[in-house]
Structure 1
Amino acid sequence: MATSVQTALITGGVSIPDSRLAHEITEFIRDTESSLLFNHSSRVYYFGALAGQRRNLKFDADLLYAGAMFHDIGLVPAYSSTADRFEVDGANAARRFLEQHGIPVEDINHVWTAIALHTTPGIPQYMHPLVALVTAGVEMDVLGIDYAGFSEEQREAVVARYPRTAHFKEDILETFYEGIRHKPQTTFGNVKADVLADKDPEFVRGNFCQVIRQSPWRG
């Protein structure tokens, strides 16, 4: 029997898919991530799906759910590599999970790309709907981008089902920091460098111009 979390309609007809894949994703992520990340990822799914509905985008709800729920698993120590960006770690974890469930390669690639690019602004919105909507959900829940595009009823319904912590803004920043502090080199050229700069006074950003000037090329 489907759980109430799986079948509850939030608003506008958007719900978590009542499928075996979605149930197993829910169970896996709930057992793997903190409640903060689980609730955040669930909100990302709803905000992404609602954005897709509003934009008249066609998307597979199971695959969007996979992208949303796995997008931050790379912050979890058990799934964090020593050298890759946490986004890539999450994308790789999703790929392995979906491969084990017999999902077609093309669909897996869309989910992989959606997770890998979810902190890369300015690009996802021009790509496959799954890529665009995972980022849309993340940007809404973390940054408040397009906040006014969602009705008060929608926002309140999603947060009532999957609550934000009392100090979510600082809590998520701390979660980001703890998930990437052991590999600061992976933040070169991406927004997570801001997190390290905010939390670690000894952090030195990679400098694109310096890399060019110090390359082995002459001239």
Structure 2
Amino acid sequence: MRISDFERPDTAAARAAVQIATTYHTPSLLNHVERSWLWAEGFAVLRGLDADHELLFVSALLHDLGIVPEFDNATLAYEDAAGHVAIALTAGAGWEPERRVRAHEVIVRHNWPEVDPAMDAEGHLLEIATALDISGARADDLPLDFRREVLTAYPRLELAAEFGACVADQAERKPGTSARRLVDGGVQRKLRDNPLERILEG
């Protein structure tokens, strides 16, 4: 399994997602969303899931935009806010209404504790991919050489400190959202202890 096995979609929505993510994310968070897409594609291969690759790519690149100050929402969970950005972006790219809603669903569900792949393959893949990148869940499922290649191409930089602080801020301001559950579940400790933080040291 190599990065080159996964072709980035060359569509209006995919190109716009890259532009928006690059413009508004810090380098650490941009690398996180890029890695999340690659982990998701890797898990799709391992689990034999037939995913909509454009939908998965766009959702992965946009899934954390709700923690960016420009897209932060006073009341909505950050993943819900990001999902609405995805609806607007994909509408501009010509997606049909039902598919725009799917982008919102995938992004919202990435923060669920678990997503049934039979109900939502893309939501499931983004959920387990982000769980790996943030908390280290299923860290040994993907081939070691692939993990090292991805982390070399998209290093973690200051993700643990940056994302931990962003989620803590969301939890404090919006205690009824999933950010509170993540913080109460020890997400800041999990970020620091994530084995991906040290995989390139060996």
TM-score class normalised by the smaller sequence: 0.7 to 0.9
| Structure 2 equivalent of residue 69 of structure 1 | 61
Q: 2:146 aligns with which of 146, 151, 154?
A: 154
Give the aligned partner of residue 145 of structure 1.
137
Q: What's the CA shift string for 1:162-199, capped at 9, x where partnerless? A: 1111x533332123224x1562333379523427997x
Give the count of matched residue pairs. Answer: 189
Q: Given that residues 124 and 135 in structure 1 are in contact (C-alpha distance below 8 angstroms), is that contact kept between their aligned partners in structure 2?
A: no
Q: C-alpha displacement at 1:91, in angstroms?
A: 0.6
1:45 Cα deviation after fit = 0.3
Q: Is the alpha carbon distance of 1:48 and 1:196 closer, same or farther for their aligned partners in structure 2, counting shifts above 3 Å?
A: closer
Give the equivalent residue in structure 2 for 1:164. Answer: 156
* Aligned residue number for residue 113 of structure 2: 121
Q: Which has the higher contact order (CA 8 A, sep 6+)?
A: 2
SS in 2 for 1:149: coil
Query: Does 2:96 align with 1:107?
Result: no
**Residue 31 (structure 2) aligns with:** 39
Give the root-mean-square deviation of aligned CA atoms.
2.6
TM-score by length of 2: 0.83
% identical equivalent positions = 19
User: Which of 176, 187, 194 is the equivalent residue of 2:184?
Assistant: 194
Q: Is the 8 A contact 1:99 1:108 kept in 2?
A: yes
Is the 1:110–1:130 Cα contact (8 Å) retained in structure 2? Answer: no
Query: Would you say the 8 A contact 2:12–2:93 is kept in 1?
Result: no
Q: Do the aligned residues in 2 keep the contact of 1:39 with 1:163 (CA within 8 Å)?
A: yes
The 8 Å contact of residues 40 and 164 in structure 1, kept in 2 or not, is answered as: yes
Select 1:185's aligned residue among 175, 179, 197: 175
- Aligned residue number for residue 173 of structure 1: 164
Residue 22 in 1 paired to residue 14 in 2?
Answer: yes
TM-score computed with the length of structure 1 as normaliser: 0.77
Cα–Cα, structure 1 residues 196 and 144, in superposed 2: closer, same or farther, change >3 Å?
closer
Structure 1 residue ranges (4+ consecutive) displaced by more than 4 angstroms after TM superposition: 195-198
The answer for unaligned runs of 5 or more in structure 2 is 189-202
Q: Unaligned stretches of 5+ in structure 1? A: 1-8, 199-219
Describe the SS at the equivalent of 1:185: coil
* Shift, 1:20, TM fit: 3.4
User: How much has 1:106 moved relative to structure 2?
Assistant: 2.2
